[in-house]
Structure formats: C-alpha cells, structure tokens
Structure 1
Amino acid sequence: MSESAGGALTGLRVIEIGNLVAGPFAARLLGDHGADVIKVELPGAPDPLRSWGQYHRAARGFFWTVHARNKRCITLDVRPEPGRQLFLDLVQRADVVIESFRPGTLERWNLGYDELKRANPKVILARVSGYGQTGPFAHRVGYASIAEAHAGLRYINGYPDQPPIRMALSIGDSVAGMFAAHGILAALHARSRTGEGQVVDVALTDACLALTESMIPDYDQGAVIRQPGGTRLDKNAPSNIYQAANGQWVVIAANQDSLFRRLCAAMGSPELADDERFATHTARGENQDELDELIAGWARGHEPAELVKTLDEVGVACALMATAADVVADPQFHAREMVVPHHDEEFDVDVLGPGVVPKLSATAGVVRWAGPPAPGSHNDEVFGVLLGLTPERVARLVAQRVI
C-alpha cells in the first residue's frame, strides 16, 4: 500500500491521535486529498467509532469503513516513555498532528505543543475539543450535542412551543472537523512564509456558533431572540416543505424576489408577485403563514415529479425530500462521484459511502482504500519501514503492550 496516490496534499504527513468524530473527520478530509494520515489507537482500546452506525454485521458498524478511509492505522500507547519517544519520532517526520482530547491531556503525557515543537519546529498541532483550549469552560467534557446546545444552535431548531429537536447527525462534530481542516491549511500556508509551525485551536462550541447566521447581530441590535421555525426558515418566505398530491414532501425555496415572481407565474397567479403582502422580501416574511397556505394548496394538486419538473423549468429552487434510497439512486450524485464504493477488507464487499469534497480539476482527491478492519493494520509499515525499527524491537514493544 503506497503512502499516497496523488492529490493536492500528496507529501503531507498527518498524525491523528484521539477518538470519535471531529478530529478524525478533519484528518479524513486531508487524507481524501492525498495526505498520508497515520491514525494512532491505544493497544486494546480501539476507536469506539469502529462499532458506530445504525447497521451492524458481526458487531461492527460500517461508519468506520468511510470514516477511516485513506488512513494507516497503528497501535501505540504514548503514555509510557518508550511509546512517548516513538510518538515524538513520528512527529519528527510529520507536518501536522491532530489531537482530540480534553485540554491538558497531552501535557499530562509530556506531549504538549512545546515538546512537539522541540521535536519538530515546523509541526502544526491541531487541537479539537469541546470548548477549546482557553476560557472558563475549557476543562469540560464537550460532545457535539452539548456544543450545539451551548452555542444556541440546538435551540433554534425544531417547532415553536415544543422541545428543541436533536438534528439526526452530529453537526457539531462535522463542522468542527471542517474548521480544523481549514485552520490546518491556513497554518500550512503561513508556515510556507515563516518556516514555523503553530497551534490550531478548534472548539466544537465555536464551530456551532459560527453557523448561527444572524442570530447574534439580531439580538445585539434588536433584542430579538431567534425562535425555532419548524419546517421553514422564519421571516424568509417562501422557504418551506409542501406536500404534493401523493403526500410526498417537496422543498420549495423562492424567497428571492426574482424567484418568487417565477413561482407565481408557475402557479398561474402572476398577480401575487405584485401583491403588497408579498411584493418584497420583508413583506413575504411578515405574511409567511398566508403565503405558505397559498403555495401548499397549489402543491397538493400536483404529482411530485410534475411539481419539480414545472418549477425546475422556470428556474425555481425545489427538490423532492430524498431518503437514503433516493440518494443512492440519484444520477446527479453518481455523475459527481459522490456515491462511491469503499472496499471493506473484513467482509470482502464494496460499501457505498460519500465521495470526496471538493472536486479539484487538476489534483482530484480519491478514496484510495477503506478504513482498515483491524487496529494496528499498518504497524509493520509505520514502525518497521517509516521509523526503521527491527523486528526484534517491534516484538519487544508488543510484549510490553507499547504497540
């Protein structure tokens, strides 16, 4: 197995240490574009994500197949001195270290940034945690659901007068991973000028807060506390889901003036575009309930495919509410190589998963291999070839449970 197979980040070496989603998600994004990602798991205590997901076979989930793709997995206990030194040997050969522990954990292991920088002055340390490395809550445990609640993101999702809902995905983890990858690339660009590494500090709470659009300025200037809007985007109309004739839901978003005018024409009611209740963005927001009723009545008289075809032809943004089955069969996603096979070695099957984002025209990212099925699958490659350890020394370290 080669360390890389093309891509914009070919030649970049990343050490990933830590479990679950946010930090490893950032490493996956870099690996998708050619980085050599070496994932460190504790001997005897693999990443719990190996068993996550809603479908299991032989007690193993398939989230791992996608989440750990393009990574080389090793086992290493960095806490005893031999393991700590091996980790520093890897750092000497790395560009980036991504960790996702509670602040202070690396320092307790004598592997804080000062130690890493002594081993490699150019190394970039990306630290992903619940509340970040600073502030009065830095010591707290922070999962995605906690971060979404703390940042106000959870509160504004759901239905009025009902408990805030949980989004079906760990949005906080994913967006924190994206910000971490963004920060790493920014730090790499800075290093190209200064020759020095630095710390990239990403908090799940910060990442969630960054998604809240106008929530903060609306409160600051107008004391407006944004409320959950249910299925629609409050004060942005029309932007909602509507039932077609067979009961299937269709999303229609035409809150821009030009799109709204097209929608009115498609509905056979062009006069609504000049109605003072709906003629402007602000007016439509103030009369959102009435407008939604008009559109819902029209939508119920059309089959979903007909509805989408009619709106698409006149340039109104719309889509059927897709299930996983719809996504897997969707020609657009297949054309974009966004539903791609990952070959699962343990079960010897191709497992479909999401493709690489974004698409680069000259140095495209690719799924080179799926997540290795066993912890330590690449111990020989990394310890034997990369670090040059003899088989005898590797055997001693295994006996000591260091690797």
Structure 2
Amino acid sequence: MKNLPLDGIKVVDLSAALTGPFCTQLLADFGAEVLKIEPPGKGDMLRAFGPPYLKGESPYFLLTNRNKRGITLDITKEKGREILIRLAKDADVFIENYRPGVKKKLKIDYDTLKEINPRLIYCSISGFGQTGPYAERAGFDPIAQGMSGIASITGWKHTGPVRVGVAIGDSLGGIFATYGILMAIIERERSGQGQRVETSLLEGLISVLGFQAAKYFATGERPEPLGNDHGMVSPYGTFKTQDSFINIAAGNQGMWERLAEALGLKHLIQDERFRTVPDRVTNRSELGKLLEEKLAKKTTKEWGEILNEVGVANGPILHIDEVFQDPQVLHQEMLLEMDHPTIGKIKNLGFPAKLSRTPATVRRPPPLLGQHTEELLKELGYGPQEIETLRKEKII
C-alpha cells in the first residue's frame, strides 16, 4: 500500500455523536491512526441512534467511524484518566467535544495536556464556542441551525422556519475542525509547537450564510426565505415539468438567453421585465410562471437532454435511492462497500476529495464497542493480569 498523506499522525479521539467522529474519519481516511475512546458499556451515543439497526449496530454510527481502532475507557476514574494521559503523551492530535467546565474538571483540558505534550494539537468542538455567554450551553445541530439564521432563510414564508434535511451543522463543524487541525499540523512543521484548535456548530453555519449575509450587509434588511429560488439571480430554482421537477440555474446572461431559446421563449430576452439580472430578480414570479407553462409540455428527462445540449445548468431532483444508482455517482465511487465483523457487507459513503498519488482508502470497518481495547493496552505495556484487573474495576 502506498504511503498516505497522514501516515504517522496519531489522533486520540474522545469525541462522540457526529461532528468530532466525522472529523476524525476524514483524517483516518487519509492515513491518520485514530484511537476512538468510548465509555464502557454504552459507548458513543450515536450507537443508540435508530431504528433502523443492522444486527444491533446503528447505521448512523457506521457512517462516521471507519478506519479507527476502538477502546473503552472510563476517564472519570483515575486509572482511566492515567491511560488516557499515556495515550496523549505521544499523540499528534487530541479531539474532544466536552463543555469547557467538564474537561477542566476531568483534568484533560488543553492547558493540562500541553504540559505533558507541547507538540499536541488539541481540537475542541462545541455548540457555540469555548468562551462567551453560551459556552456552557448544550448544543445540537437543530439548535445551531436556528441560532445561526440558517433555519430562518430555509423554506417558504408560509412554512415558517425549516431545518435542513441533514445535520449540516454537525458536518460543517467536522470539516472546519479537520481544516483547523491540518493548518496546525503544517504550522507545527515550522514552529515545533502544538496549539489549540477550536470550532463550533454555530460558527460553521454562520460562515456559509453566503449571499444572504451579503444582502444583509449591503442593505441592512432582514433576508426572508425564498423556497428554492435564489435571492440574487433568476431564473435559478426548481420548476415543475410534465412528470416531476427540475432544477435550472441560469447563472449568467448567456445561459439565460440559451434557456429562453431552448424553451421557445426567445422573445423574452428583449422583454424589459427580463432583460437584465436585476430585472429578472424583480419579476421572478412572472418569469417562473412563463417558464413552467413551457416546461409542463415535456418530462424532466426530456428537458434535461435539451438543456444539456445547449449548455444550460440543470438537473433532476433525485431521491436518496436514486442517488446511489446514478451513473456519475457510481463512477466517482461515492458508494463504497466494506466487510464488517458481525454484519457482513455494509455500504458507506465514498471519499469526496480525490488525490491522484495518495488517495484515501478503506482499511478498517467501524470498530465494535471496545474491539481494540486489549490490543491498545498491550501496546502501552499493560500485561494480561493488569488488563483483567482494569476490566473487573470497570475502567475498560
């Protein structure tokens, strides 16, 4: 096997749920050695999320924990904390999602661990940040979606606020945590020093407010939900066809003109209501009705072929089962299969970042609860009798 970009990087992963585990899976996919630490008996809270379950395992847990070794450890007990400290002594990265007060109480905060390992990159993920008035508040994805403004601009005026259909705040938090960790690793090559990396669900979501924030900054006016339309471009949204729906994004003047010609609406190009981008945004509703009158005459597939031929960005609205049958998705290997020790073959999401010489690989399935506990303790120098004692004392 070729060397991977993060070979030799040891990650102690104390995080649970989605954000932290997603971050460490991104690192693990590219070669980092990730040691996933879970409480004995119950494990990561995500193991309980369901139904459905696959032979007792949560598919949600399986989605974000491949390429890791798993150890159970009660870090609230002194012997458990001692083992954690030994794992952290030569680690490159330590990641956790405790509230600030909890990690200080457990004596596993950054200031404590950097005295033991000055090169340690310590990543904290939270709902709202490590300091400030909300620092000690519990935070989950829908809470952050609401407080970031994302929910207020999703949906339509008549629906009220709508949550994005996946845990987008958790996923963004994991991506930004990975980004911060990689920056710290690069900087450490120059300074030789570790540092603290912090991110939160709230900050990640605010950072992608995009054109809605831009509109607010420019006008001081509160953005409102626009459904599937774009606030600053038109036509750019979802339209009804003969049999279903189609997304059309006429992202520039040339594309708009090609769209109008393809739909037999060439006369609209010089119509004063639709001549420029601002004109079309102002008269979006009228334009949408005219487009849908034409789009209703053919199927989504037929329109897709016509619009692709003339270079107008478009696409169908696929259901999840259809996504994983789509030829482009399969070509890009965004559906993976791996062998799991108790389930057998399981499906998983592919690698969204492709590297030509050192691509991501699947090397391990998600660990069973405590699967590698003895293996890791032996690597630390613990003997069979010591391990048995730790088990009896419910440290592991």
TM-score, with length taken from structure 1 = 0.95
1:98 and 2:91 correspond:
no
Secondary structure, aligned partner of 2:47: helix
> Hey, what does 1:219 align to over in structure 2?
216
Contact 2:16 2:44 (C-alpha < 8 Å) held by counterparts: yes
TM-superposition CA deviations, 1:200-232 (whole Å, max 9, x none): 111111111111113334334412111011122
Contact 1:103 1:132 (C-alpha < 8 Å) held by counterparts: no
> Hey, what does 1:292 align to over in structure 2?
288
Answer with 265-274 or 150-159: which moved more.
265-274
TM-superposed deviation, 1:313: 1.2
> Hey, what does 1:29 align to over in structure 2?
26
Residues of 2 paired with 1:145 and 1:162: CA distance?
17
Contact 1:16 1:39 (C-alpha < 8 Å) held by counterparts: yes
TM-superposition CA deviations, 1:318-340 (whole Å, max 9, x none): 11111122111111111111111
Answer with 251-260 or 192-201: which moved more.
251-260
> Hey, what does 1:49 align to over in structure 2?
46
Amino acid corresponding to residue 384 of structure 1 in structure 2: K
> Hey, what does 2:316 align to over in structure 1?
320
Paired residue for 2:373, among 354, 376, 379?
Answer: 379
Contact 2:337 2:346 (C-alpha < 8 Å) held by counterparts: yes
> Hey, what does 2:276 align to over in structure 1?
280
Contact 2:121 2:195 (C-alpha < 8 Å) held by counterparts: yes
Residues of 2 paired with 1:249 and 1:51: CA distance?
36
Residues of 2 paired with 1:142 and 1:42: CA distance?
20
Answer with 193-202 or 339-348: which moved more.
339-348
TM-superposed deviation, 1:153: 0.8
Answer with 33-42 or 56-65: which moved more.
56-65
Contact 1:235 1:286 (C-alpha < 8 Å) held by counterparts: no
Contact 1:37 1:72 (C-alpha < 8 Å) held by counterparts: yes
TM-superposition CA deviations, 1:377-400 (whole Å, max 9, x none): 011221112x12111111111111
Answer with 43-52 or 5-14: which moved more.
5-14
Residues of 1 paired with 2:29 and 2:163: CA distance?
29
Q: What does residue range 183-222 of structure 1 map to in structure 2 within 5 Å?
A: 183-222=180-219
Aligned residues: 396
> Hey, what does 1:236 align to over in structure 2?
233
Answer with 11-20 or 212-221: which moved more.
212-221
1:398 and 2:394 correspond:
no
Secondary structure, aligned partner of 1:169: coil
Residues of 2 paired with 1:198 and 1:394: CA distance?
33
1:366 and 2:361 correspond:
yes
Answer with 60-69 or 83-92: which moved more.
60-69
Residues 339, 232 of structure 1: alpha-carbon distance in 2 compared, 3 angstrom cutoff? same
Residues of 1 paired with 2:231 and 2:213: CA distance?
16
Secondary structure, aligned partner of 2:152: coil
CA RMSD of aligned residues (A): 1.6
> Hey, what does 1:305 align to over in structure 2?
301
Contact 2:2 2:358 (C-alpha < 8 Å) held by counterparts: no
> Hey, what does 1:169 align to over in structure 2?
166
Secondary structure, aligned partner of 2:153: coil
Residues of 2 paired with 1:316 and 1:250: CA distance?
12
Residues of 2 paired with 1:333 and 1:26: CA distance?
23
Residues of 1 paired with 2:352 and 2:249: CA distance?
24
Secondary structure, aligned partner of 1:30: helix
Answer with 194-203 or 59-68: which moved more.
59-68
Paired residue for 1:152, among 149, 157, 175?
Answer: 149
Residues of 1 paired with 2:188 and 2:102: CA distance?
26
Residues of 2 paired with 1:79 and 1:184: CA distance?
26
> Hey, what does 1:353 align to over in structure 2?
348
Amino acid corresponding to residue 379 of structure 1 in structure 2: T
TM-superposed deviation, 1:104: 2.0
Residues of 1 paired with 2:21 and 2:62: CA distance?
13
TM-superposed deviation, 1:119: 1.6
Residues of 1 paired with 2:348 and 2:42: CA distance?
26
> Hey, what does 1:270 align to over in structure 2?
266
TM-superposed deviation, 1:353: 2.0
Residues of 2 paired with 1:162 and 1:384: CA distance?
57
TM-score, with length taken from structure 2 = 0.96
TM-superposed deviation, 1:281: 1.5
TM-superposition CA deviations, 1:283-333 (whole Å, max 9, x none): 111111011111111111112211111111111111111112211111111
Residues of 1 paired with 2:270 and 2:179: CA distance?
44
Contact 2:55 2:342 (C-alpha < 8 Å) held by counterparts: no
Residues of 1 paired with 2:218 and 2:15: CA distance?
41
